[in-house]
Amino acid sequence: MESKPKDTYCSNMAKSGMNPKTLQYLMGHSEISATLNVYTHVGFEDAVAEIARLDEKLRVM
Protein backbone atom coordinates (compact mmCIF):
# COMPACT_ATOMS: atom_id res chain seq x y z
CA MET A 1 0.00 0.00 0.00
CA GLU A 2 1.25 3.46 -0.86
CA SER A 3 1.73 5.70 2.17
CA LYS A 4 0.15 9.11 1.79
CA PRO A 5 0.55 12.03 4.22
CA LYS A 6 -3.22 12.19 4.77
CA ASP A 7 -3.35 8.46 5.61
CA THR A 8 -0.38 8.77 7.97
CA TYR A 9 -1.88 11.79 9.76
CA CYS A 10 -5.27 10.13 10.13
CA SER A 11 -3.80 6.83 11.33
CA ASN A 12 -1.51 8.54 13.85
CA MET A 13 -4.31 10.68 15.26
CA ALA A 14 -6.60 7.65 15.58
CA LYS A 15 -3.83 5.68 17.31
CA SER A 16 -3.23 8.58 19.71
CA GLY A 17 -6.83 8.27 20.91
CA MET A 18 -8.38 11.24 19.13
CA ASN A 19 -12.17 11.17 19.12
CA PRO A 20 -13.27 9.74 15.74
CA LYS A 21 -15.82 12.52 15.16
CA THR A 22 -13.16 15.16 15.83
CA LEU A 23 -10.84 13.40 13.40
CA GLN A 24 -13.65 13.27 10.82
CA TYR A 25 -14.11 17.02 11.18
CA LEU A 26 -10.38 17.75 10.89
CA MET A 27 -10.09 15.54 7.81
CA GLY A 28 -13.03 17.35 6.21
CA HIS A 29 -15.07 14.20 5.64
CA SER A 30 -18.85 14.30 5.57
CA GLU A 31 -18.99 10.55 6.30
CA ILE A 32 -17.20 8.86 9.21
CA SER A 33 -16.75 5.79 7.02
CA ALA A 34 -14.28 7.68 4.83
CA THR A 35 -12.25 8.63 7.88
CA LEU A 36 -12.23 5.18 9.44
CA ASN A 37 -12.30 2.84 6.43
CA VAL A 38 -10.24 4.71 3.84
CA TYR A 39 -7.72 6.86 5.68
CA THR A 40 -7.14 5.08 9.01
CA HIS A 41 -4.83 2.07 8.89
CA VAL A 42 -4.15 -0.09 11.92
CA GLY A 43 -2.60 -3.51 12.23
CA PHE A 44 -2.24 -6.38 14.65
CA GLU A 45 0.47 -4.58 16.64
CA ASP A 46 -1.86 -1.63 17.12
CA ALA A 47 -4.59 -3.93 18.45
CA VAL A 48 -2.15 -5.57 20.87
CA ALA A 49 -0.99 -2.16 22.12
CA GLU A 50 -4.59 -1.00 22.61
CA ILE A 51 -5.50 -4.12 24.60
CA ALA A 52 -2.41 -3.63 26.79
CA ARG A 53 -3.37 0.02 27.36
CA LEU A 54 -6.92 -0.94 28.35
CA ASP A 55 -5.65 -3.73 30.60
CA GLU A 56 -3.38 -1.28 32.41
CA LYS A 57 -6.22 1.21 32.77
CA LEU A 58 -8.51 -1.44 34.29
CA ARG A 59 -5.82 -2.50 36.77
CA VAL A 60 -5.61 1.06 38.09
CA MET A 61 -9.36 1.18 38.70
**What is the Cβ-side half-sphere exposure of residue 45, based on CA atoms within 13 angstroms?**
1
If you average pLDDT over residues 50-56, what whole number do you get?
A: 92
Altogether, the residues listed in the chain come to a count of 61
pLDDT band at 1 (very low <50, low <70, confident <90, very high): very low
If you average pLDDT over residues 4-33, what whole number do you get?
A: 95
> What are the residue ranges spanned by the domains of the chain?
5-60
Q: pLDDT digit string (tens) for 22-43?
A: 999 999 999 999 999 999 999 9
Burial class (CB in 10 A: 0-12, 13-18, 19+), 23: buried
pTM: 0.76
